[in-house]
Chains A and B, each alone.
Chain A
């Protein structure tokens, strides 16, 4: 009787140990499985890699070319806020179109500051080169300002108008033809008519 009970107890003990080991192995395997796939540090590094490799966006820029506005696209790093998109748009616009294209964008102009007012007007503070280096007639001045306005409107959400300042001050005009005293929306959003005769 005693001889028959001993092996049975041992068998139960071995079975219990086996299941305990199986349970522990399951927990360990589960721990490694979940830490491998959902680790926060791993997620962060993946995002960094994406940004470095290809997290870019295209902004639309309108430049005066041959008496009208022509659309160009420029590739810039993706921006998070409305204001940083506006800043990138102005920065890119001031570079002028790529290639040997005349665009009337005054050379060496710098963006000194940018601010979105509570009234929806975007204030752009440019360096004096924007006025001093402008070379062009009335149409060129009109299209340069309209191009900047259209570029901002097509990339930045929710702006009501654009007001240009030079060295922090309001100026009447950059080229003596078009008024900058009012926000650009009121000045350049009107259409233009043209008839050419030879």
Chain B
């Protein structure tokens, strides 16, 4: 019932002028964290690699329904290095990049990458290590993070932490980019919850597009 209600609200919102298509988001890349022998967080009830893949595939389906081009970095249970994920993502020239993970808590964490030094203070080595790609999109990534945090907090009513940290999966993405950690505790990832989670994140993307 809650799922249907959520879908109806989404449809009404999408028809409103607030959601009128502008230059907008055409290509979304979703990166389900972990995979293969890298299980991520494991409990008796879940494996992080399976949860992230399942929600990524649901998001792919919903976003395609909205007319977006969507690419998922891995489509099945396989190990991908961070470098491979970055390569696959940047090859698609995304307008938005999201990496999905689980937090070790009952709340969400939304990550934006973090550059401590100013451009002038970076050594050449640091410059290439951090990569300038994400640096250009840092402002947009923060804007996307704010909207995503508000959306998740509104939908789930749980703690949402905003963190800025040097994460390699975000450093080299040439687009607004977030790493979203969903709760691993106090939540049961049945089919309805995965659907609800996927929809909430998609709403965050669409609200960012229409801001």
Contacts and interface: CB of A to CB of B under 8 A. Distances in A.
A192 B34 contact: no
Interface residues of A, number: 26
Given A137-B184, A196-B161, 16 more contacts: A135-B42, A135-B104, A137-B181, A138-B109, A138-B165, A138-B167, A138-B179, A139-B103, A139-B109, A175-B40, A179-B168, A186-B129, A187-B166, A191-B116, A192-B164, A193-B163
B193 interface: no
Interface residues of B, number: 37
Nearest to B102: A137
B123 to A, nearest CB: 10
Contacts of B101: 137-138, 176-177
Interface of B: 33-34, 38, 40-42, 81-83, 101-105, 109, 111, 114, 116, 125-126, 129, 149, 153, 159-169, 179, 181, 184
Which of B33, B165, B181: most chain A CB closer than 10 A? B165
B33 A176 contact: yes
A183 to B, nearest CB: 10
A73 interface: no
16 contacts: A137-B101, A138-B165, A139-B109, A139-B163, A172-B83, A173-B82, A176-B101, A179-B82, A179-B168, A186-B125, A186-B126, A190-B166, A191-B114, A195-B162, A197-B153, A197-B159
